[in-house]
A = this chain, B = another copy of it.
């Protein structure tokens, strides 16, 4: 059997509650008592039972991270950093993969997953703001990644539209005129795909380049999605001199397909992405992309969430944070 507080109390000759007080840094404890208890703890090798603590205190010291798929590099890096940063504050991260499935997202908001965590960092992929708002429970919730300015919700977001416009403009400024965009449908206007598309269209408009629906190709946000999209473009004979993959893996998949088919990058077709995953610096050619400020997103979303959890942030309405972005110009689109 594991050592309990009771054993420690007995060994130190104090009450159970005094041991608890020592553990919780209660102010009024005689120094000699504290040391006696600490000694007993050390001698017996006592470790607090986290489950009992959670039951009694109602806190789990875990935060939940809901994302579509941990094997996607962007989310893997995000989760990895979040875990490291959260650990500094004594929190663990429990990850839930939604696969963009509405049922799973809903379950993450209200089900057992919620119970296990003190607060949620949530990437809504299939739900809209209203659904999130109506199903979120009482515990703190910070939305991640979307550019949603709902006054009821805390949101930490990257500048999807502006950054997408910037990277598109970069292509246009280098003389490209037929920029294919991969990873969204023409009708998308919300969510990361839609917002980045908006940025794309804004940049075109800005440069006086007409929007051509033929250049828009939907695709799963995976490498093969990018490859398939390029294959489709080439097979239907659509002319293009650049590809904007709405995230890096799409762009890298697209680039792979271009190169396999003998299309020169950036000679014939320039390629840009979005996210600046580690791989983008090491592909051949290296990938021009947008760094959305992941470090800032991680730190600030966690800070906001912990402020809510620990009752420091009292703002009634939603707090909105937007990270800086940076254009990373590399070989695929100089």
Q: Determine if A80 is an interface residue (Cβ-Cβ < 8 Å).
A: yes
Q: Chain B's nearest CB lies how many Å from the CB of A185?
A: 23
Looking across the interface, which residue of chain B has its beta carbon closest to that of A83?
A: B97
Q: Determine if A318 is an interface residue (Cβ-Cβ < 8 Å).
A: no
Q: How many copies of this kind of chain does the complex include?
A: 2
The contact of A54 among B51, B94, B95, by CB within 8 Å, is: B51
Q: Point out the residues of chain B lying under 8 angstroms from A158, CB to CB.
A: none
Q: Chain B's nearest CB lies how many Å from the CB of A130?
A: 21
B77 near A71: Cβ-Cβ < 8 Å: yes
Q: Point out the residues of chain B lying under 8 angstroms from A93, CB to CB.
A: 95
Q: Chain B's nearest CB lies how many Å from the CB of A328?
A: 15
A83 near B112: Cβ-Cβ < 8 Å: no
Instruction: Please provide the chain A residues from 163 to 179 with a CB less than 8 Å away from any CB of chain B in the complex.
Output: none
Known: A55-B52, A223-B278, A223-B282. A111 touches B47 (CB 8 A): yes
Task: Mark A110-131 against chain B: 1 for CB-CB distance below 8 A, else 0.
Answer: 0111011000000000000000
Instruction: Please provide the chain A residues from 271 to 305 with a CB less than 8 Å away from any CB of chain B in the complex.
Output: 278-279, 281-284, 286
Q: Determine if A136 is an interface residue (Cβ-Cβ < 8 Å).
A: no
A97 near B76: Cβ-Cβ < 8 Å: no
Q: Determine if A252 is an interface residue (Cβ-Cβ < 8 Å).
A: yes
Report the bound CA distance from A318 to B79 in whole Å: 33
B223 near A279: Cβ-Cβ < 8 Å: yes
Q: Determine if A50 is an interface residue (Cβ-Cβ < 8 Å).
A: yes
Q: Determine if A241 is an interface residue (Cβ-Cβ < 8 Å).
A: no
Could you say which of A23-31, A141-149, A189-197, A253-261 contacts chain B?
Answer: A253-261
Using a CB–CB distance below 8 Å, which chain A residues touch chain B? 47-52, 54-55, 60, 69-71, 73, 76-77, 79-81, 83-84, 92-95, 97, 111-113, 115-116, 223, 227, 252-253, 255-256, 259-260, 278-279, 281-284, 286
Q: What are 24 A-B pairs with beta-carbon distances under 8 A?
A: A47-B111, A47-B115, A48-B112, A50-B112, A50-B115, A50-B116, A51-B54, A51-B55, A51-B116, A71-B79, A71-B81, A71-B278, A73-B73, A76-B76, A80-B97, A83-B97, A84-B97, A92-B94, A223-B278, A252-B282, A256-B283, A256-B286, A283-B283, A283-B284
List of 9 A-B pairs having minimum Cβ-Cβ separation, nearest first: A76-B76, A71-B80, A70-B80, A256-B282, A71-B77, A51-B54, A223-B282, A51-B55, A259-B284
Known interface pairs A55-B55, A70-B76, A284-B284; 14 further A-B residue pairs with C-beta atoms within 8 A, sorted by A's residue number = A47-B115, A49-B115, A50-B115, A70-B70, A71-B73, A71-B80, A73-B73, A76-B76, A79-B95, A83-B95, A92-B94, A95-B95, A252-B282, A259-B284
